[in-house]
Structure 1
Amino acid sequence: MPIPDATLVNTPDIEVWPGGLLRARSNRDARALSRAYHVLRRKRDGRYLAAELPEGLLPLVPRLMHEPGIDAALDVLDTLDAHPRRRPHRYSELPLDRLHERLHSLGLDDGYGAGTGLPLVAEPERLALAGFDRYRRPLWLLQPAARAWSHLRQAALRDDVVLEAISGYRSHDYQLGIFERKLARGLGVAEILTVNAAPGYSEHHSGRALDIGTPGEPAAEESFENTDAFAWLRGNAGSHGFVMSYPRDNPHGIVYEPWHWCWAPA
């Protein structure tokens, strides 16, 4: 079915997705998602909670009304109308009040931000569909960043350079999941922090950053710097508002990431 509104709406616990974008994980999900105007998805683990169908809301989990944050998500559904083009795209952000609890669970406090020079990054309330990444997943960015990314790709194509998005927006919960999976593999927090910013400190939370690749090149590898795509970005990305956030010997202690670029117009 056509996508009724290519906007992702954030609440602290639940994302409100437009229908037609999420992949079904069961036959029941497939039937519901094929007809859904919107889908409620739990941020913590990506579980589908409910689908808004023409005949009403279909719960996809038991005890839906006991889900943390469900009232805020249902309030969002009440504000969405059938004419998304008439609704202004807002740039408000979600509060950061629960983030400190997540950081404390990793043994981190305010000293991490002070030591790295990285600011806390709030999640946007709304994100625009900026196409799809290399893996055919929806790519979410702030609306102006999505527009800038489209212009950047088109400019590269005119010079016979193909740019691919590897990933864009990530929630605080997603970033925490990266840490939890690496901790489960036996890595220490200090080791993980050389590669991944702590939850709440990643530019990906802002909807302005994305990891960029090119066909035939592995994702998020330093070898990207040897490609024509990277050379083109070095010469042209700035005119579209994109900067490479983590060059060699950057002051934040993040490893060199030639693939990571952030929309930060002057």
Structure 2
Amino acid sequence: MPARPRPSVAATLLNTDQIELWPAALLRARSNGDARVIARASRILRRKSDGRYLAAVVPEGLVGLLPGWSRSEGLEQALDRLEAVEQTRRAPAPDTEGTLPLYGLRQRLETLELDADDYARRTGLALVGEPATLALAGFDRYRRPLWMTAAAGQAWRALQAAAATEGVRLEAISGYRSHAYQLGIFERKRARGQRVAQILTVNAAPGYSEHHGGDALDIGTPGQPPAEESFEHTEAFAWLTAHAGRFGFHMSYPRDNPHGIVYEPWHWRHQR
């Protein structure tokens, strides 16, 4: 494969349908061999369905990190995206490129025996596209990079800082999730014997989670388990209820919401 110039490293996630292009500095090496390559890389091609590292972008070109990586689904689309970034020598600004086309979403839903039109009609949930570019909004409770739209990320940091001035600690539990990641949640739960109808009371169908849009996040506070209803009894929840609206954040799934989603006091969405 021909050598490709090294693009600038920016705190942005370049998104494509099957593959994400991560800043290499934000990823942990999973073997000694990977560590040597990643230390020299600007970006890593990461498969969305399982999080596996496919290849690294180094000064002399691409170095594979997974056997058979060059036959990966969606690789050409990811390389086209990389080529476009290299031509400008800088990553595109988040919130300027819109969302990705919804390739393959209906097929994903068919694997769950879900009719997209019927599901949308029954739940009132909107179809949510994935942003083409996401911005680094800090790190979550588990020290994982937190990806959001630029506007939502800025609002989250301001919200978190304002709470801190009043002695309230807010932690991000999770932010952006891809359609492929959401499908994986369903597949893992089905493998444990849960029915799709049961899973849908807790998780939105792939394509219908607000997390796909990069403007929603689950919020927690130290000492509290993640994504539990008990969060509503914390000082952090009381503070959010009183102040989050000033920063554009709103709780999406209150009790008895019309979407059939269980009460989620931890889930908040930024709306400009």
What is the TM-score of this pair, normalised by structure 1? 0.95
Runs of 5+ unmatched residues, structure 1: none
Query: Cα deviations across residues 46-92 of structure 1 (Å, max 9, x unaligned)?
Result: 1101001123211112333322111111122222248637x443231
Alpha-carbon distance between aligned partners in 1 of 2:225 and 2:189, rounded to the nearest angstrom: 20
In the alignment, structure 1 residue 187 sits paired with structure 2 residue 194: yes
Q: Which amino acid aligns with 1:232?
A: W
Correspondence 1:22 to 2:8: no
Who is 1:106 aligned against? 112
Q: Does 1:46 align with 2:51?
A: yes
The one of 102, 118, 125 aligned to 2:125: 118
Q: Which residue of 2 aligns with 1:70?
A: 75
Mapping of residues 103-182 of structure 1, within 5 Å: 103-109=109-115, 110-182=117-189
Give 1:95's aligned residue: 101
The amino acid of 1:55's aligned partner reads E
Equivalents in 2 of 1:71, 1:77: separation in Å? 10
Give the Cα separation in 2 of the matches to 1:187 and 1:63.
Answer: 33
Residue 5 (structure 2) aligns with:
none
1:74-89 pair list within 5 angstroms = 74-81=79-86, 84=90, 87-89=92-94
Counterpart contact for 2:93–2:133, Cα < 8 Å: no
Stretch of structure 1 that moved more, 72-81 or 101-110: 72-81
Contact kept, 8 Å, 2:40 with 2:58, in 1: the verdict is: yes
**Secondary structure in 2 matching 1:253:** coil
Tell me by how many angstroms 1:207 deviates: 0.2
Q: Deviations over 1:15-62 (max 9, x none)?
A: 000111111111111111122100000111111010011232111123
Query: Structure 2 length as normaliser, TM-score?
Result: 0.93
List, as ranges, runs of 4+ consecutive aligned residues in structure 1 with deviation greater than 6 Å. none
Per the TM alignment, residue 230 of structure 1 is displaced from its structure 2 partner at its CA by: 0.3
**AA at the equivalent of 1:97:** Y
Asked if 1 retains the 8 angstrom alpha-carbon contact of 2:14 and 2:22, the reply is: yes
Task: Give how far 1:95 is off.
Answer: 1.1
2:250 equivalent among 234, 243, 255? 243
Candidates 56, 63, 73, aligned match of 1:58: 63
